[in-house]
Structure 1
Amino acid sequence: MKRSLLILFIGFSAVFSALADDKPVADEELLAEFKEYCVEMAEDDGVEGPALPAYLLKCINEELDAEGFQAITKVPN
């Protein structure tokens, strides 16, 4: 009985977790707008060189999250 309840609980947890992370994917135009904004922020903050890609990725993902979109794994071209 305990095993059945545990399996049931794990199953429901997985379903609810998947639903909670079900955000839409941003289109290329929106990503370009966020990238442009984040490049400006990087310039204002004096971020350049090797630190720039990580800064842009974090900034873009923060904007995506604020608007309810899925995060990205690399900075768009």
Structure 2
Amino acid sequence: MKALALLAAMLVTFVVMADDEPLPQASVADIKELVQVCRQMATEDEVSKAELQDYLLDCVNDQLNEMGYQQVKSLQKYQ
């Protein structure tokens, strides 16, 4: 439940950026928190091990997008 509250709080605090400016990068700490939240969601959604990495990357990138940050290509350094 804490994870969902954290996710909701992070979504509420997203930054709106102008279309012509590049999006900022999220901090490593923020991305690590999103990975943990998404991992918990994957458990609740009963995502298989084979699909877990794709699920996590999609989930984290969806959240980063909602928060106004650049997406990441890999979660390798955040796990």
TM-score (norm 2): 0.69
Question: Which letter does structure 2 place at the counterpart of 1:34?
Answer: L
Show the counterpart of 1:30. Answer: 30
Distance (Å, rounded) in 2 between the aligned partners of 1:36 and 1:23: 23
- Structure 1 residue ranges without an equivalent (≥5): 1-16
Larger Rg: 1
Partner of 2:63: 63
Q: TM-score, normalised by structure 1?
A: 0.71
Q: Which runs of 5+ in 2 are unaligned?
A: 1-18
**Counterpart Cα distance in 1 of 2:30 and 2:57:** 14
| Matching of residues 1-77 of structure 1 within 5 Å | 19=20, 22-75=22-75, 76-77=78-79
More helix by share: 1
Find the aligned partners of 2:38 and 2:59 in 1 and give their Cα distance. Answer: 6
Q: Give the 4+ runs in structure 1 shifted more than 3 A.
A: none
Identity over aligned pairs, percent:
29
Bigger relative contact order (CA 8 A; separation at least 6): 2
Aligned residues: 59
Q: Amino acid of the residue matched to residue 45 of structure 2?
A: D
- Cα distance between partner residues in 1 of 2:65 and 2:50: 24
Compute the displacement of 1:51 (Å).
0.3
What secondary structure does 1:41 align onto? helix
